[in-house]
Amino acid sequence: MIRVNNLTKTFDGFTALDNATLTVPQGSVYGLVGPNGAGKSTLLRHLCGVYSPDKGVVSIDNQPIWENETLKQRVVTIPDDWHYFLQANIRDMMKFYRGMYPGFSMERYEKLKEVFQMDEKRAIRRLSKGMQKQVAFWLSLSACPDYLLLDEPVDGLDPVMRRQVWSLLLGDVAERGTTVLVSSHNLRELEDVCDHVGILDHGKVLLERSLAQLQDNMVKLQVVFPDGMTVVPADLDIVHATKIGRMHTLIMRTDAKTATERLAPYQPLLVDAIPLTLEEIFVYELGGADYAVKDIIL
């Protein structure tokens, strides 16, 4: 289990993380989402032991990750700007990973060669960004880590390879109990793979819940009220409302059953509850901070 408790980090007077607290359950796929500059990459660098906290605790399996060589051997990260040695080919980097990670499996490396289908002797610097990202996944999955930290992991991959990579990752979660923490702007993709989500903004974790809880705590309703009723009643505690013709689209911070019951006294002609996507939840949760982008989704 990954635990971050009251983590604070500043750079030249700028607070990148401000008492950030989150918990990543063992064997889960945890999606860390937030706008640019929210502190996602800084948080990931603490989790792989690159940064030391100014304040707070960062631990994995109840051990601090900072300067913990044994623990770091169980954690593999793929940053957005994945590092490789300038003159290295794929096989050179494989030898480097095999020396770094005791759990590295040559058997798996050979099996994944059939998936990624690249010449091991080709210099990595001559590969496209997408192919370099494939090499990163090839090596990282061969290391058989207990924890995998991913920053914008599938950027640059074509749709077929994106699906293949996610299939491999989810297979490791199911079969090996791998814990995956993924930071991404692609919320629609995260919705298909994550079971827990944390929303980070201005260095603070605004909320973290299972995806099912997030979707249960907010609902979108399409409502048609009786003739002559053109204004949404103020006592319904609407997060956001729009109207096209007679159709009102309401966002309410409650579950679908409760929302429908609260509308019942107004005798609506139509009530249709629609689950919100993760992208919509993200926009409306951040809407209370300083975002004026709510209408984009609707």
CB 266 within 8 A of CB 230: no
How far is CA 171 from its chain centroid?
18
Residue 287's pLDDT band (cuts 50, 70, 90): low
What distance in Å separates the CA atoms of residue 127 and residue 124, rounded to the nearest whole number? 5
pLDDT at residue 152, as a whole number: 87
pLDDT at 296: 31
> Considering the domain 2-210, what is its CATH architecture?
3-Layer(aba) Sandwich (3.40)
Express each pLDDT in 195-230 by its tens digit: 999 989 899 998 888 888 777 788 899 999 898 787
Using the predicted structure, report yes or no on whether residue 29 has a pLDDT greater than 90.
Answer: yes
Q: Given this model, what pLDDT does residue 104 score?
A: 97
Model confidence at 167: pLDDT above 50: yes
**Measured in whole angstroms, how far is the alpha carbon of residue 140 from the centre of its chain?**
18
CATH 3.30.70 fits 214-297, yes or no: yes
pLDDT (0 to 100) of residue 292: 38
CATH 3.40.50.300 residue spans of the chain? 2-210
Task: Specify the domain boundaries for CATH 3.30.70 within the chain.
Answer: 214-297
Among 55-69, 89-103, 222-236, 256-270, which stretch is predicted with the lowest mean pLDDT? 222-236
How many Å apart are CA 69 and CA 84, to the nearest integer? 20
| CA separation for the pair 9, 17 (Å, rounded) | 5
Q: Work out the pLDDT band at 293, boundaries 50, 70, 90.
A: very low
Greater confidence (201 vs 3) lies with: 3
User: Is 164 in contact with 158 (CB distance < 8 Å)?
Assistant: no
Q: For 93-126, how does the pLDDT look when each residue is reduced to its tens digit (9 = 90+)?
A: 999 999 999 999 999 999 999 999 999 999 999 9
CB 142 within 8 A of CB 95: no
